[in-house]
Structures are given as structure tokens and as C-alpha cells.
Amino acid sequence: MSAQALKNYTIAGTPSTNQLLRAYLEETRCEALRLVRNPGLAFPVLIMPVALYALFALLIAGEAIDKDPGIGVFMFSAFSVMGISMPALFGLSSSLAMEREMGLMRLKRAQPAPTGSWLVAKIVCGVVFGALALLPMIVLATATGKLALDGAAITRMSLTLIACSIPFCALGLMMGSLVKGSAAPGYANLVYLPGCYLSGMFFPLPQSMHWQRPIWPQFHVNQLAMHAAGVEKFQFEPVFMAGAGALGFTVLFSAVAIWRLAQKG
């Protein structure tokens, strides 16, 4: 074999762990930069939940919370679920849908990008931005005394909520893989908003509507938060079921997204 031919046939081989790590980090950094530089997306998803929480929990329902601290936890949990889910759902669905439309997913498949590095980057950003949306709410709630829980319970609840942004990341990926770029936020809302109300997250539902709560991911996530906080009054399903629900939805949404991306790219 001639030297020239050798050169042609030598391929770089499997990338090293360091190289993979660098690719994952770089991908995550770029994804975060894109989110930060897209104020149309970053601003509403980061500010809206805490603004709504301030409006409802502090101004409108302030007195009720003072009478029954359980209501404070209930409202905090509701707006927190909103906070952690919006960046995951809207950020991921629109960015993935746009990227598919721009042909960027095709380019990444052609380049030797590590399989799934874009996915990890998006999920990490979804979770981190969810945490960023949650943080001001925790500060506000504890500073105003509207969250009558001890430090350990607040930590448990916050960590649970942050972890629970993953099912919404999966939902965002599914929406992003199913619809076109500009339509993605609209469709995501269509799936997301009814669930906020019909899961009984924002206000307690009449008994007759309880049967349909388990079909909304928000319900299970909210229940996990209630279990983490240890508020028995608002625990409507065992922690095992809530965990299974959140996990089940994650698996279902991811499977649809992966299947769809494999079919259509």
C-alpha cells in the first residue's frame, strides 16, 4: 500500500472521551448562548412565572395564604411547575422545530457530531433555565413568608421540581419534532395550557373531573412536588404513581420524538 493510499485510508477513528466531552460542552455552551441571545424567548419564560406568582399569590390570595399556609404551598407549587416547564417546553420545541426547518439537523447528522450531543445540550439548557425561572420565585416566596415550609422541605421540593423539567423537555422535543418552526409555540400551548387547568394545578377541581387528571403530566409533577414538600392535604396519588406517571410521560414523549426524528430527520 502506497503512502498516499495509506493517508487516504487512515481515518481518525473513534473519538476519545475528552474529545466527546469537549463536543458536549461546546454544544451546551452554544445552545445556552442562543437562548440568552433570543430575548423574545428568554424574557417571557423567565419573567412571566414569577410575575404571575407575585400577582396571584402575594396580591390576590395573600390573605387566604396567611389564614391557611397550605394554600401558599399549593400556589407556589403551581407556579413553580409553570416556571420549570416553560423554558423546557417552549425553548426546546421552538428551537428544535426551527433547526429542522433550517436543515441544521441534517447538517449535524452529516458532520461527525457525537450522536445525541445536541439532545443533551438542549435538555441541560432546559433544566438550567427552568432552575433560573424557579430561583426568583423561591426568593420571593421565602422573603414574603408565603411559603410556610422549613429549609429542608423547600430544598427537597425545589430539587424535585428542577428534575421534573425533564418530562417537559421530552414534551418540547416531541412537539419540535412534529410541527413546523413558527407554529411550534402555538401547538405547544395547545398541549400545555389545558393541562395547567385540567390537572387541577392552579385550582382544585370538582370531584367529577378527577378521573381525567392523570392524563396530564403537570398533575404527576405537581404531585411529586407535594410529596417532596410533605403537604398531605394536596396529595392525591401515591408518590410511586406520581413518579411512574412523570417517568412514563418522559419515555412516551421521547420515544415519539426519537421515532419521528429517525423517520423524517
Partner 1 sequence: MNTSDSQRLHALDAVRGFALLLGVAFHAALSFMPGWPPGIWAMNDHSPSAFLSDAAFVTHVFRMSLFFFIAGFFARLLHQKLGTAGFWKNRLLRIAVPLLIFWPLLFPLIGYIWVTGITKVLGAPPPMPDFKLTPATFPLAHLWFLYQLLVLYVGAMAVRAVVDRLDGAQKLRGLIDRAVEFSVRNPVAVFLLGIPLAFALLAIPMWFYWTGIPTPEHSLIPQVPATVGYGTAFVFGWLVHRSRGALEGITRSWLLHLVIGVIATAWLLHVVKVSPMAQPGMLKNSFAFAFGVAAWGWTLGLTGAALRFLSGYSAARRYVADASYWIYLAHLPVVAAIQVWVGHWPLHWGLKYPFILVTSFAILFASYHWLVRPTVIGQLLNGRRHRGAAPSPATPPPQSTPPRGPDGSDRGHGDAPVAELRGITKKFGAVTALNGIDIQVRSGELLAVLGPNGAGKSTAISLWLGLADADAGEVTLLGGSPRDVAHRQGLGVMMQDVELPKELSAREQIRLASSYYSDPLPLEETIRRAGIAAFADKTYGKLSGGQKRLAQFAVAICGQPRVLFLDEPTVGLDVQAREALWNSIRKLLAAGCSIVLTTHYLEEAEALANRVAVITKGKVIASGSVDDMRALVARRQISCQSKLGADEVSAWPGVIEARIDRDRLRITATDAEDVVRRLLAADPTVARLEVRQAGLNEAFNELTKEAA
Confirm or reject binding of residue 255 to partner 1 (CB under 8 A). Answer: yes
DSSP 31-44: HHHHHHT-HHHHHH
Asked if 4 is part of the footprint of partner 1 (rule: CB under 8 A), the reply reads yes
Q: Are the C-beta atoms of 76 and 142 separated by less than 8 Å? A: no
Cβ neighbours of residue 264 closer than 8 Å, sequence gap 6 or more: 100, 177
Q: Considering all CA atoms of the chain, what is the largest pairwise distance in Å, rounded to the nearest integer?
A: 86
> Given candidates 26, 66, 68, 150, which one binds partner 1 under the rule CB under 8 A?
26
Q: Which residues in 160-173 are b (16+ Cβ under 10 Å) and which e?
A: bbbbbbbbbbbbbb
240 binds partner 1 (CB under 8 A): no
Q: Which stretch binds partner 1 (CB under 8 A): 2-10, 49-57, 58-66, 220-228?
A: 2-10
- CA angle, residues 135, 174, 200, in degrees to nearest 5: 55
Q: Which stretch binds partner 1 (CB under 8 A): 77-85, 185-193, 208-216, 253-261?
A: 253-261
Q: Tell me how far, at minimum, the Cβ of 155 lies from partner 1, in Å.
A: 30
Element at 119 (helix H, strand E): helix 117-143
In the complex with partner 1, the residue whose CB is nearer, 52 or 258, is: 258
Binding to partner 1, residues 135-164 (CB under 8 A): none
Nearer to partner 1, 207 or 263 (CB): 263
Q: Does 209 bind partner 1 (CB under 8 A)?
A: no
Q: Does the protein bind partner 1 through residue 16 (CB under 8 A)?
A: yes
Instruction: Name the minimum Å distance from CB 222 to partner 1.
Output: 25
